[in-house]
Structure 1
Amino acid sequence: MATNLRPLIEARIRTQIPAFKEVAGAADLTNVMAGRLSDAGCYIFHERVMATESDLIGATMQRLAVSFAVLIAVRNVRDARGGDAADASYLLQASVKSALLGWCPDGSADPLEYSGGALVPFVNGFFIWKESFITHQFIRSGV
């Protein structure tokens, strides 16, 4: 069985980026948006898993592409248009990329790769940006 990497990513961000006031795991985007957000908060969840077909006979071994979302939430009420919050978020985005890009969470996964970012609709005055990272793991049975 593949290792759950989400707690390892959470711990990495917590130790590498002290600017975050809160770093937490979540089940999905809906749960993050419905919960209490911190200024500057970081929330990590599994985004997607895709598997390749198995080439083995009498057993199954598949390579998984495992995608994680890292949500960055910042708030700056002094700027009504959100420019200051966007700038603060940009700095945190760079810190997250620096902490995770090429980092190998454990022996069961490949180093993390960046797969993109996107603005998430504002909630309660928070500027929310989602960064996505991907890694690969193997699962097997019958071996």
Structure 2
Amino acid sequence: MIVDEFIAQLLALDPPVFSLVEGIAELASLQDAPAATPAGYVFIKEEAGGENRRITGLLQRVEADIGVVIVMQNVSDNAGGAAMADIEAIKLTTIGAIAGTQPPSAADTAEYIGGQLVRARNGYVWWELTFSAPYYLESKP
């Protein structure tokens, strides 16, 4: 659910920044490069649960790390330098669209944790941003 909310936030950017924003299934199915760029792929990278706060049932805070992989192409430079320059503005816009906001299913505001280069090849640059977005698991007996 939280992944869908992050996707919706990125698709709602005005003016639009991404040609497409999808989830992990679409990222996993990529053979080489997305159909259009800039592209964004959102997924849960890692989760860590806290202590259950109920004696019966479940009320547990979960710290989720959400990954956003940005793929950018610039054919003017096959080494990726031009695409890397282009991706800087998209990174800042993406961070601004997510960090400090509270998606409906989140327990608190999302925070930017960091980013890293995933791949640079054939004029494409893949950059991954990581955000923290806590939420609660809850059930009653």
Map 1:66-81 onto structure 2 (within 5 A).
66-81=64-79
Root-mean-square deviation (CA, aligned residues, Å) is 2.1
Identical counterparts, % of pairs: 27
Q: Name which of 73, 98, 101 aligns with 2:99.
A: 101
How has the CA–CA distance of structure 1 residues 8 and 35 changed in structure 2, closer, same or farther, with 3 Å as cutoff? farther
Question: Which secondary structure state, in structure 1, belongs to the residue aligned with residue 17 of structure 2?
Answer: coil
Residue 71 (structure 1) shift: 0.8
Paired residue for 1:10? 7
Give me the whole-angstrom Cα distance separating, in 2, the residues matched to 1:111 and 1:28: 27
Residue 25 of structure 1, aligned match among 11, 23, 26: 23
Mapped partners of 1:12, 1:60: distance in 2: 29
- Provide the rounded CA distance (Å) in 2 between the counterparts of 1:49 and 1:28: 21
Contact residue 59 and residue 140 of structure 1 kept, 8 A: yes
The range that moved more, 32-41 or 125-134, is 32-41
Q: Which moved more, 1:126-135 or 1:106-115?
A: 106-115
Distance in 2, Cα, partners of 1:65 & 1:96:
20
Q: Once structures 1 and 2 are overlaid, which stretch shifts more, 53-62 or 95-104?
A: 53-62
Alignment deviations for residues 27-60 of structure 1 (CA, whole Å, 9 cap, x no partner): 385x064365122111111111110122432333
**Count of aligned residue pairs for this structure pair:** 139
Question: Contact between 2:80 and 2:121, CA under 8 Å: does it hold in 1?
Answer: no
Task: Please say which of residues 68-77 and 116-125 is displaced more in the overlay.
Answer: 116-125
In structure 1, how many angstroms separate the alpha carbons of the residues matched to 2:5 and 2:53?
A: 30
1:112 match: 110
**Which moved further from structure 2: 94-103 or 15-24?**
15-24
CA contact (8 A) 1:27 1:45 kept: no
Alpha-carbon shift at residue 22 of structure 1 (Å): 1.2
Deviates more, 1:102-111 or 1:32-41: 32-41
Alpha-carbon separation, structure 1, partners of 2:29 and 2:50: 30
For the residue of structure 1 that corresponds to 2:85, the secondary structure is helix
Match of 2:85 in 1: 87
